[in-house]
């Protein structure tokens, strides 16, 4: 049984990350190609990256 790790299951955030366009970045879990992927997505420009630090 494939499941998300303990750290990935947490729903609250301790930091708020912001994109260069000024939108807030939220984490999304996507089931793609038989695997769960965690993606960071900007709420304003809909840009997706692997993690929030990659937006800088």
* Prediction pTM value: 0.62
Q: What is the pLDDT of residues 7-48, one digit of tens each?
A: 777 666 567 888 888 889 999 998 989 999 999 999 999 999
> Higher-confidence residue: 20 or 6?
20
pLDDT, position 1: 55
pLDDT, position 14: 65
∠ at Cα 55 (37, 18), nearest 5°?
A: 100
Pair of tokens at residue 15: 């930091």
pLDDT, position 17: 86
> Higher-confidence residue: 23 or 56?
23
């Amino acid at each position: 049984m494939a499941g998300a790790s303990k750290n990935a299951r947490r729903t609250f955030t301790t930091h708020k990350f912001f994109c260069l366009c000024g939108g807030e970045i939220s984490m999304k879990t996507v089931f793609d190609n038989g695997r769960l992927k965690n993606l960071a997505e900007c709420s304003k420009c809909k840009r997706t990256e692997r993690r929030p630090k990659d937006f800088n």
